[in-house]
Amino acid sequence: MNARRVMANLTVHLKQFSREKSTIFFVLLFPILLMVLFGFIFSDQGSSMGDLHIQNVDGGFHSQALVSAINGTGLFRIVEVDNSTDANQFFTDNKLNVLVIIPAGYSDSINMKLWNSTSPQANLTIKYDESVSYSQTKISVVNSIVDGMNKGLSGSVDYIGLDMDSVQSDEWKFIDFFAPGIIAMSVMSSSLFGTVGMNTELRQKGILRKLSTTPLTRTEWLLSNILYQMFMSMLSTAVILAVGMGMFGLRPHINLYMVVFILLCVFSFAGIGMLITRFVKEAESAQAAANAVMFPMMFLSGTFFQLEMMPGFLQTIARFLPLYYVNEGLRAAMISLDSGIILESAVIIGIFGLGVFVLGVVLTSWKDE
């Protein structure tokens, strides 16, 4: 390992980048587009998960509290269904996917339960269309709100306070939850495709062959490439944050954890890119291989679709994808500051990235490039 050689490579990559205007343009355009696109999709309508129909037959204090709690998340546009309508008929006629019914006596039951814990619990009825996967997501949100209220009512006051706050507060918009996913995805795609693109181009031009006749080692080459991709990722993250904050009022925590997750993400995916170019020599097949790596990650790691919407086996697969932990970790770092998730995710991606790097060093050599 020789730092001078690593720096020499890094300098070359940066010069190559900064001297090509069209490259700069497209490298910056991609994250801007992503953020603007998703920003408009998720901030404009406010209720990003669509309508939630509620029939409040009860109408008492606790039912009102529940409705306003759901409303407070800002995730739904609540549509009150008149008490006199037949719920079943209404559900079918309007092709609803979820209908929450607060039955008569709901508030009374809760009051009874508070008075005497042995009395029966209050029940909500949720009608939903099983064939629409989205209804599961809506239900899971309602569930978590009910959960929070349960905990609140059962007495552990401190805990509820926090929980209710994070759900109810207007501080976070849906776009805030989405931004970490956009950052993770843009960092993944730029490190993966950046690495694959650069290495296949340099191979085709015969530059790798020339490099193989110099004392430059694979480790040095790998490392300088990762450093360069780290720079690029920091750049695109800055762009995403600037657009998000400027246009959509994004207010994430920006901290060292965030930087750590971005670096780990680059380390992992630039490493995968190196491995791909080692084994898939043709430029086009290498691009295809990179796509094959990226797409499942994009869709299964919770960036665009909530994991809860997916069948169980896909959820299991997601738990094995590095991007899932980048998403989790970034979200925790930028929003909840949950140190447990931050630590767990960092350790998992850290191990993964190191593994990929070691494989890259062991499996690839300049010989017979």
Partner 1 sequence: MTEDVITVKDLVKVYGNVRAVDGITFAVEKGEVFAFLGPNGAGKTTTVEMIETIRTPTSGDISILGKDVKKDRMDILQRIGVLPQEFSSFDRLTVEETIQYYSRLFCVDCDVGRLIKLVNLEEHRKKLYVTLSGGLKQRVGIAVSLVNNPEIVFLDEPTTGLDPRARHEVWDVIKGLKREGKTIFLTTHYMEEAEVLADYIAIISKGKIIAYGTTTELIDSHFKTIKVTIKGGSAGIGQLAKKMGMAVHSEDKGGITIEATGNEQVVEFLNALKANGISYLSMDIRKPNLEELFLVLTGEALVEEEAAK
Give the type of residue at 341. Answer: I
> C-alpha angle 323/325/327, rounded to 5°?
70
Nearer to partner 1, 28 or 309 (CB): 28
Q: How far is the CB of 236 from partner 1 (least distance, A)?
A: 21
Residue 276 binds partner 1, judged by CB under 8 A? no
Q: Does 281 bind partner 1 (CB under 8 A)?
A: no
- The strand pairing partners of 125, in sequence order, are 101
What is the rounded distance in angstroms from the CA atom of residue 38 to the CA atom of residue 45?
12
26 binds partner 1 (CB under 8 A): no
Binding marks (x or -) toward partner 1, 221..250, rule CB under 8 A?
Answer: ------------------------------
Q: Tell me if residue 29 falls in helix, strand or coil.
A: helix
Q: Is 367 in the site for partner 1 (CB under 8 A)?
A: yes
By CB under 8 A, residue 368 contacts partner 1 = yes
What's the DSSP call for residue 120?
A: P
Restricted to residues 49-68, the positions that interact with partner 1 (CB under 8 A) are none
The region of 7-15, 47-55, 101-109, 158-166 touching partner 1 under the rule CB under 8 A is: 7-15
Whole-angstrom Cα distance, residue 24 to residue 153? 55
Nearer to partner 1, 235 or 341 (CB): 235
* Binding residues with partner 1: total (CB under 8 A): 26
- Residues of span 126-185 touching partner 1 by CB under 8 A: none
Considering only 2, 88, 166, 255, the residue that binds partner 1 (CB under 8 A) is 2
Residue 5 in contact with partner 1, rule: CB under 8 A: yes
Q: How many helices (H) and strands (E) does the chain have?
A: 15, 4
Tokens 């899971």 found at: 140
Q: Which residues contact 139 (CB under 8 A, 6 or more apart)?
A: 98, 126, 128
CA–CA gap between residue 72 and residue 169 (Å, rounded): 7
Residue 19 within binding range of partner 1, rule CB under 8 A: yes
How far apart (Å, rounded) are the C-alpha atoms in residues 261 and 205? Answer: 34
Question: Both tokens of residue 58?
Answer: 């009860």
Least gap, CB of 4 to partner 1 (angstroms): 6
Span from 5-13, 69-77, 81-89, 234-242 in contact with partner 1 (CB under 8 A): 5-13
Q: How far is 292 from 29, CA to CA, in rounded Å?
A: 23
In whole angstroms, give the CA distance from residue 272 to residue 191.
Answer: 9
Please, which of residues 186-225 interact with partner 1 by CB under 8 A? 205-207, 209-216
Residue 8 touches partner 1, criterion: CB under 8 A: yes
The binding site for partner 1 (CB under 8 A) comprises 2, 4-5, 7-8, 11-12, 15-16, 19-20, 205-207, 209-216, 366-369
